[in-house]
């Protein structure tokens, strides 16, 4: 399915500086693979294989990852005499990946604007490089096409971070349960579908997509929400990373694509 998927991968990730002092946030690993790989696996599973990755902070590390991707996912035969290198038994997905420097301090809207020339004036998808989910992307696209507006955002419910205590007399805890995911409201879960006219709502590098553009789209009646009731988790803190690692180690992480 030929449709561009734009991934915002240029932010500083200051809330998890323990990891991002040495790598961009989308390169934080879960289960030995970068977050970026997990996200692209989901899109690829649904037939979306054309990616435009917006780089910024430490973007060279993301370039290195993809430049060396084939070697890392194949057996390699080297003829030291001739210098010939052959990759055999390749385990590479059919992704086409454009890695675009969009500026270290550029805001999210500005990054989208900077890759406008790569979007072929067609409907495109957009997401962040730090959120894992099991969104049904084909259903998302069908929803977007059915309502006919300019923009669709996936609405998600963040997982509860704290256990809920039921406290009785004299401070005795009568019940303890993990905070259910549906106690909070809907949030911007990323995984957008956008029409080219959305770019007209973005002024330039200093524009945060989540502020004026989305507010204006909503005010114009051009923003619709696709309610995702499945798994969704952003990686913002060390706690989040540990939770995702535990899910991966369980053998059945809910976002994992089975091929």
Ordered per-residue pLDDT tens for the chain, 259 residues:
579 999 999 987 777 777 677 889 999 999 999 999 999 999 999 999 999 999 999 999 999 999 999 988 888 999 899 988 998 888 899 999 999 999 999 999 999 999 999 998 899 999 999 999 999 999 999 999 999 999 999 999 877 654 444 445 554 444 445 555 555 578 899 999 999 999 999 999 999 999 999 999 999 999 999 999 999 999 989 899 999 999 999 999 999 987 6
Sign of CA dihedral 195, 199, 202, 205: positive
pLDDT at 176: 45
pTM: 0.88
pLDDT tens, residue by residue, 213-241? 999 999 999 999 999 999 999 998 989 99
Provide the H-helix boundaries in the chain. Answer: 17-20, 35-45, 59-67, 69-72, 108-114, 137-147, 212-219, 238-249
User: What pLDDT is recorded for position 157?
Assistant: 85
Tokens of 226: 């696709």
State the pLDDT at residue 141.
97
Secondary structure of residue 39 in the 3-state scheme: helix
Res 184: pLDDT? 57
pLDDT of 30-60, one tens digit each?
A: 999 999 999 999 999 999 999 999 999 999 9
Over pLDDT 70: what percentage of the chain?
A: 88
pLDDT confidence of residue 22: 86
- DSSP-derived secondary structure letter, 179: P
* Angle CA 206–52–65, to nearest 5: 105
| pLDDT attached to residue 97 | 97
What domains does the chain contain, in order, with CATH numbers?
4-249 (3.90.550.10)
pLDDT in the model for residue 120: 84
| pLDDT at residue 163, rounded to an integer | 47
Q: Check: CB of residue 53 under 8 Å from CB of residue 7.
A: yes
- DSSP state at residue 238: H
């Amino acid at each position: 399915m030929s449709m561009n998927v734009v991934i915002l991968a240029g932010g500083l990730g200051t809330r998890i500086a323990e990891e991002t002092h040495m790598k961009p946030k989308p390169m934080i690993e879960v289960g030995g693979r970068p977050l970026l790989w997990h996200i692209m696996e989901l899109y690829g599973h649904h037939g979306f294989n054309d990616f435009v990755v917006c780089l910024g902070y430490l973007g060279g590390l993301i370039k290195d990852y993809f430049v060396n991707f084939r070697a890392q996912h194949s057996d390699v035969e080297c003829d030291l005499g001739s210098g010939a290198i052959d990759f055999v038994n390749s385990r590479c997905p059919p992704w086409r990946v454009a890695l675009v420097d969009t500026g270290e301090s550029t805001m999210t809207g500005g990054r989208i604007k900077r890759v406008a020339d790569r979007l072929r004036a067609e409907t495109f998808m957009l997401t962040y490089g730090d959120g894992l989910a099991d969104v049904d992307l084909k259903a998302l696209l069908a929803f977007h096409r059915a309502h006919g507006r300019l923009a669709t955002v996936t609405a998600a419910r963040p997982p509860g971070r704290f256990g809920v205590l039921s406290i009785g007399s004299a401070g005795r805890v009568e019940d303890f349960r993990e905070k259910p995911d549906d106690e909070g409201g809907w949030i911007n879960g990323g995984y957008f579908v956008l029409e080219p006219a959305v770019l007209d709502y973005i002024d330039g590098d200093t524009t945060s997509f989540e502020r004026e553009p989305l507010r204006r789209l909503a005010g114009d009646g051009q923003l619709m929400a696709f309610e995702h009731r499945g798994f969704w988790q952003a990686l913002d803190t060390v706690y989040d990373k540990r939770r995702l690692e535990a899910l991966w180690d369980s053998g059945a992480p809910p976002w994992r694509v089975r091929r």
